Amino acid sequence: MKGLIATASLLLCAQASASVPHPFGIHDLVMLERVSDPQISPDGKRVAWQVRETDYENNKGRNGIWTIELGNPKAQAARLTDAAANATAPRWSADGGAIYYQDKGQIWRLPAAGKGAALQASDLALDINAYKFSADGKQVLLSIDTWPDCGKDDDPIACTKKHNDDKAKSKASGRVYDKLFVRHWDTWADGSRSQLYIAAVDANGKIGAPKLLTRGIDGDVPSKPFGGDDEFSFSPDGKSVYFSVRIAGTSEPWSTNFDIYSVPADASAAPKNLTAANKAWDTAPVPSADGKTLYYLAMKRPTFEADRFGIMALDLASGATREIDPQWDRSAGGLKLSADGKTLFATADDNGEHPLFAIDIATGKVSKLAGDGSIHEYSVHGNDIVFSRTTLKTPADLFRVAAKGGKATELTNQNSTKMAFVDTGAFEPFTFKGANGDSVQGWLVKPAGFDKAKKYPVAFLIHGGPQGAFGNDWSYRWNPQTYAGQGFAVVMVNFHGSTGYGQAFTDAISGDWGGKPLEDLQKGWAAALEKYTFLDGGRACALGASYGGYMVYWIAGKWNQPWKCLVDHDGVFDNRMMGYSTEELWFSEWENKGTPWDKPENYEKFNPVNHIKDWRVPMLVIHSEKDFRIPVEQGLAAFTALQRRGIPSELLTFPDENHWVLKPQNSVLWHDTVNAWLKRWTAQ
């Protein structure tokens, strides 16, 4: 930790010596503390949460658990866990006397008062992926990667440990596969499955021997690579367990058919599929307080990962289902139940923000509880909700709001010292008429230290997804403030396909990647130039990642006139090859309305590789070697085309990063390289 402390101290000293705040930059971004996962105590008097700090010298993050008293305006946040720990996922004991957390692959228990050493609650031969306690705290669900063939063994964990040890001793490195996924996101498949186990918790908080609940389930609980503990839950009485899983078989890479299963907590019967009738995505089971109803999220269209998530109610006795919110044209997430059982809470993209909503279960009426930015994780207890919120100018902090609504109050200011020494750019949304005459929203971020008498070069950012959006939110990867701090104005357009403007708007991009979205970008650029006279349209560069990277390659051949330079991060260069080499085939096949051999014309209609002869603009290509979503060969091929055509170009690649650049020093190199490229080509 000495390196972290020294780096942070030097940074703060340098900032404090400045007479005025300095423009926000990448070194500021990577050193910010990241607030997440708030959890209100059982008595409602405290909240615990996770904070990620940056150990820059060792090129990684380190996590700790913090708490603060609720209802006391003079309360100060305090760190509970030792600085040497890497503590994540705080969870209160049922009596509120202790806090559990994860570290070193196991679960630990610490007195909530902060007095006393942390005790190891679990001692398993394998790492724990995720966990959740029953309401009475006497049982805990554990997700553990085990070998499928060990599911028939009395002790699958010991069996898997032996299998792993034997495998490690072998000198042969080859692997034989007979089905996809061969690799997923950034990891080659090793044959294991994330399975759900249950264990008893004794009076001292020690976790006993786990028992397999998902025996016979060929799938991962939670889902890989980003699933969490919201994908499984206990019934209120602790006698049943619900979980969401996609049965793998041989069709997993082109299926989004997740179903919700129930299983007795004593593992006395096999898991039962509760949502088999729906061939699309069912997830996030939340039992009612009386245990008679199961609420969950469901899509309607199989193989479409960006379909709208509706909120469903399942009568567990009859099996009847109904959609609670059919009139709400938003896709819900983060589902939780109110204390009185009459209201469900959810977050959703909504017109450039990500607010918290309350949904009346009886009527389906939706009310906004809190907004003014993007609300991420939250916790509910009685009449209290504690949530994390970000904006385009502020990283996450915790806020408190009444479950019935009202003004939100700030609980923490985790980055106040660091943000006090930086100058960020003001922001505002703007709208214009895009493709089909539809209203389209964009965002403008002014340069730090803005002077209305000056003209500024422009960074034109294009978001990925493509079913995503730029919003009033904070990012640690594509943060417009890092460009504003370099003296650029930033323009961002939420083109057709973006989320938060109704499902029809989101659907509009499928099968039309280079059509309406390009028209929106062109009209948005024109609208921004007309509205904001300080934009220097002759000194502008376009940048994008993932689908945004695809669009950079597309505009390189179809709309290259305005741009002095281009930056492409992990973009799709050859759409046909993408259909054969990406891992989640459902995405490519939905977007192109079929497979590359059944619908080759769809893969070629908007394929950037077919327009290389029209490329002319200098381009920086960035592509990482562990990106299995859009494999690195896509970036290498684009760089080859640029070099062969004699177009000024550079290639930046990271052997240890995936579709995202996550390591602090890699992030600094990424931003320094991009900023140097922008300045080189927009210099007056």
Residues with active-site annotation: 546, 627, 659
Does residue 375 sit in helix, strand or coil? strand
Please give the single-letter amino acid code of residue 310. G
Task: Determine contact, residues 121/207, Cβ cutoff 8 Å.
Answer: yes
Rounded distance, CA 342 to CA 361, Å?
Answer: 6
Backbone angles phi, psi at 23, to 5 degrees: -60, 140
Which of these, 126, 62, 134, 53, lies nearest to 91 by C-alpha position? 134
Chain Cα centroid distance, residue 301: 22
Residue 583: Cβ-neighbour burial (10 angstroms; 0-12, 13-18, 19+):
buried
Instruction: Kindly state the helix (H) or strand (E) to which residue 30 belongs, with its residue range.
Output: helix 26-31
SS3 content of the chain, % helix, strand, coil (to 5): 20, 30, 45
* Token digits of residue 32: 């910010």
DSSP β-bridge partners for residue 347 = 333, 356
Q: Which two tokens stand for residue 288?
A: 């009612």
Six token digits for residue 514: 């280079």
Rounded distance, CA 461 to CA 528, Å? 13
d(C-alpha 296, C-alpha 290), whole Å: 16
Task: Enter the tokens of residue 570.
Answer: 């992990």
Q: Which of 643, 476, 635 is nearest to 546 (CA)?
A: 635
> Cα dist. 351→450, 494, 680 in Å?
26, 10, 35
Query: What does the block give as tokens for 591?
Result: 């977007």
Task: Quote the DSSP letter at residue 254.
Answer: G
Give me the numbers of helices (H) and strands (E) for the chain, helices first please.
Answer: 13, 40
In sequence order, the 6+-apart residues with CB closer than 8 A to the CB of 612 are: 557, 641, 645
- Paired tokens of 664: 């602090």
The answer to whether the beta carbons of residues 280 and 264 sit under 8 Å apart is no
